[in-house]
Chain A
Amino acid sequence: MRKLNLVALAIFIAAMVWAFILPASTTRTIQNRVGAIFAPFKRTGANVQDALTGANEETRTPEQLRALNEKLAIENAQLKIYRDREQQILTELNKVNALLKFDQRTELSLIPAKIIVRKTSAWYRGATIDKGYRQGVQDGSPVILPTGPEGRASLVGRVARAGENESEILFITDELCKVAGQIEGAKDELKLRGMLEGVRVSTSRRPELRLRYLSKDAKVEKNRRVISADNTNRFPPGLTLGTVVDFRPGDASSEAIVEPAVNLDDLPYVFVMEQKVEVQPPPPPASPPR
């Protein structure tokens, strides 16, 4: 081997070791910066794709649009009333929390986002959305979409990395995107609580999920709804995750096969739940005796 090749190899190995031992915060900064460089291309490409496929072309008549606008205006007015009512309840709840001396309270708001590009990696299922930490997106924030006739909030995935103006989300069908879940309306909640996760590899467009670590005594019927369960105040409970399609009892623990609630192939937009965790100030120290 030539001397120059050996020197090059030594320098390469040193550089590779440097990359391996980079701290997580540095790799995140690098990822955000490199992502920002490629961001304009992603956005332009997405616009070109939309133009080529005609995804944004309007096919409705002015009359249809007018009728839709009227319907949406009424719905919007209704929602404003509900929102005010919810705000009142939240205020009351926070007062109760303060009385019970809970340390934290959580306020939720939604950030609408558009999916720019679907993740191209071979082993991960995710996408890039057009909102980042500047718009309030945080790492781990749930990404939801209303589904079904009731318009229930259903989990699409979670934010894996929030960049400056765009973020990477992991779909619920990815093995890494785990969520604590439980069977809705279960009498014995602890028995029917488990960890929902995707499969590592699936060629299905809508791969099934597994609700693992259910109690070995658990029994779950088909078509039961699975919702998120969390008591750490870090993830909103009650989000629809899917519906049970099969149940497999086991010796140590049981698992339910779950069909995801959201069709991930058809995501025109999503909502990122912004979690504002407000830490209550510690109680003032007792005044010293005089």
Chain B
Amino acid sequence: MIFVLLLFILMATGFVAQDFIPDIDWAWHARIFAVPIIFFACAISLPFPVMLVFAFATGFVWDALNHVAVNFPDVAHAALELDAVPPGPAGAFGFSIFLYALLGSMMHGIRPLFRRGRWELPVLMTGAGTFLLLTLDYLFINFRRAGFSMPVEVWYHIGATAVLSMIIAPFVFFLIDRLAKLSGYSIRYEGLNYRRWTVP
């Protein structure tokens, strides 16, 4: 319980810190995404139901802070005048919750490795998770705006952000490992329950 509380505090700190992490010019404006990295680390160390609670909370707050919904009546009017396509919506509030739950479940699958102190795959998976998070988010924006645009810069940006996440991930894993030890929490893995079927 104390460990979960500590992780919530860590996540809140991540949200605060995120606002002050600048993007990197020479890396296609990639930036360190503190919130997803912390979330992925939490997803590895928590039981599935608690991970879902984390996914909901993280996605909800992320959208509350970053979701952009614009409604400019003058633009809609001008579009009609010009015979242009009226501006489409930016995105759907709550979509990040779905993304975090999806990717959190993926990370949850490699809990046994993390438990045994093997961080190689979790670090790689953090990079892959960040890559997927940004890719799915971008594809959804394209879908909502009814026009697919996939310039090569997008892939550079997403790729560089994923690499940055992988660089930072071990530090977050180490921090969570420390917090688990401090609070006396052991990362358990229930595993899948196999039921042996016998012919009646």
Q: Is the CB of B157 within 8 A of A203?
A: yes
Contact with B71, one of A45, A122, A124, A140 (Cβ below 8 angstroms): A140
Question: Do B18 and A180 touch across chains, with their CB atoms under 8 A apart?
Answer: no
B141-170 vs A, Cβ < 8 Å mask (1 yes, 0 no) = 110010001010110110001000000000
Contact status of A49 and B20, CB under 8 A, knowing A12-B55, A212-B84 = yes
Q: Tell which of B73-81, B118-126, B172-180, B181-189 binds the partner.
A: B73-81
Closest to B62 in A: A121
Q: How far is the CB of B157 from chain A (nearest CB, A)?
A: 7
- Number of A-B residue pairs, CB cutoff 8 Å, is 163
Contact residues in A for B69 (Cβ distance below 8 Å): 24, 27-28, 160-161
User: Contact: B79 with A195, CB < 8 Å?
Assistant: yes
A213 contacts the other chain (CB 8 A): yes
Given the complex, which residues of A lie within 8 Å of B33, measured CB to CB?
A: 122
Return the CB mask of A9-26 against B: 1 if under 8 Å, else 0. 101100110011010100
Chain A, interface size: which category?
Answer: 35 or more
Docked pose: A22 CA to B64 CA in angstroms: 12
Contact of B137 with A123 in the complex, beta carbons under 8 Å: yes
Beta-carbon contact of B52 and A195 below 8 Å: no
B93 / chain A contacts, CB cutoff of 8 Å: 19-20, 22, 27
Is B200 on the interface with A (CB-CB < 8 A)?
no
Is B198 an interface residue when CB atoms closer than 8 A count as contact? no
- Give the distance in Å from the alpha carbon of A28 to the alpha carbon of B31 in the complex: 27
Which residues in A have their C-beta under 8 angstroms from that of B73?
140, 232, 234
CB-contact partner of B64 in A31, A120, A229, under 8 A: A31
Contact B66 A170, beta carbon cutoff 8 Å: no
Stretch at the interface among B3-11, B37-45, B94-102, B109-117: B94-102
A8-B52 contact in complex given A16-B98, A22-B94, A175-B145, C-beta closer than 8 Å:
yes
List 11 additional contacts besides A161-B69, A176-B87, A229-B78; criterion CB under 8 Å. A12-B52, A20-B94, A41-B16, A41-B19, A120-B21, A122-B161, A158-B72, A170-B68, A193-B82, A201-B151, A213-B84
| 8 A-B pairs whose Cβ atoms sit less than 8 Å apart in the complex | A11-B52, A19-B94, A19-B97, A30-B64, A160-B68, A178-B87, A201-B157, A203-B156
**A positions within 8 Å CB-CB of B:** 1-2, 4-5, 7-9, 11-12, 15-16, 19-20, 22, 24, 27-28, 30-31, 33-35, 38, 41-42, 45, 49, 117, 119-124, 126, 139-140, 158, 160-161, 168, 170, 175-180, 193-195, 200-203, 205, 212-213, 229-230, 232, 234-235
Closest 8 CB pairs of A and B: A8-B49, A19-B94, A180-B78, A34-B64, A234-B74, A235-B74, A12-B52, A121-B66
